[in-house]
Chain A
Amino acid sequence: MRFTKLSLVLLILLALVVPASYAQENENEDQGAGLTIGFSQIGSESAWRTSFTEAVIAEAAERGINLLFSDAQQSQENQIAAIRAWLAQGDVDAIILAPVIESGWDSVLQEAADMGVPVIIVDRNVNADESLYVTRVSSDFVHEGRLAAAWLVQETSGNCNVVELYGTVGSAAAEDRHTGFAEVIALFSNVQIIQSQTGNFVRTEGKQVMASILSSTDPSTICAVFAHNDDMAIGAIEAIKEAGLVPAVDILVVSVDAIPDIFDSMDAGETNATVELSPFMGGPAFDAVVAYLNGEELPKWIPVGGGLYTSRADYDADR
Chain B
Amino acid sequence: MNLERQQANVHRGGRGAFKTLTSVMLNSRLFWTGLALLIILLVNLQISPNFFEIRMVNDRLIGSIINILDNSAPYILLAIGMTLVIATKGIDLSVGAVMAICAAVAVTLIKQYEAGSTEFYVQPGFVILITIGVGAICGLWNGILIAFLNLQPIIATLILMVAGRGVAQLITNGQSPTFTNDTLAFVGRGVVWGVPFPIYIAFIALILITLLVRRTALGLLIESVGVNDRASYYAGIQANTIKVFVYVLSGVCAAIAGMIVAGEVKSADPHKAGLFSELDAILAVVIGGTSLLGGRFYLTLSVMGVLIIQSMLVGLYVSTLHPTTNLVVKAVVVLAVLLLQSPEFRRFITQPFRRLR
Contacts and interface: CB of A to CB of B under 8 A. Distances in A.
A196 to B, nearest CB: 7
A169 B323 contact: yes
B317 interface: yes
A263 to B, nearest CB: 12
Interface in B240-295: 261, 264-265, 267, 269, 271-273, 275
A212 B265 contact: no
A307 interface: no
Interface string A194-224: 0111101111100111011111110000000
Contacts of A243: 57, 62
Contact of A212 (B318, B322, B326): B318
Interface residues of A, number: 36
Nearest to B53: A215
Contacts of A264: 178
Interface stretch (B23-31, B63-71, B142-150, B231-239): B63-71
Given A207-B265, A242-B60, A202 B324 contact: no
A207 B266 CA distance: 12
Contacts of B267: 203, 234, 261
Given A47-B174, A50-B174, A195-B320, A214 B265 contact: no
A204 B264 contact: yes
B89 interface: no
Contacts, number: 96
B202 to A, nearest CB: 15
A238 B317 contact: no
Size bracket of the B interface: 35 or more
Nearest to B176: A47
A46 interface: yes
Given A196-B323, A197-B323, A215 B175 contact: no
Contacts of B327: 169
Interface in A216-237: 216-217, 231, 234-235
Interface in B336-356: none
Given A50-B175, A207-B265, A215 B64 contact: yes
Contacts of B176: 47, 231, 261
B48 interface: yes
Interface of A: 44-47, 50, 166, 169-170, 195-198, 200-204, 207-209, 211-217, 231, 234-235, 238, 242-244, 261, 264
25 contacts: A47-B271, A50-B175, A169-B323, A195-B318, A195-B320, A197-B323, A201-B272, A202-B269, A202-B275, A204-B264, A204-B273, A208-B67, A208-B313, A208-B317, A215-B62, A215-B63, A215-B66, A215-B67, A216-B51, A216-B318, A217-B318, A231-B269, A235-B265, A261-B176, A261-B178
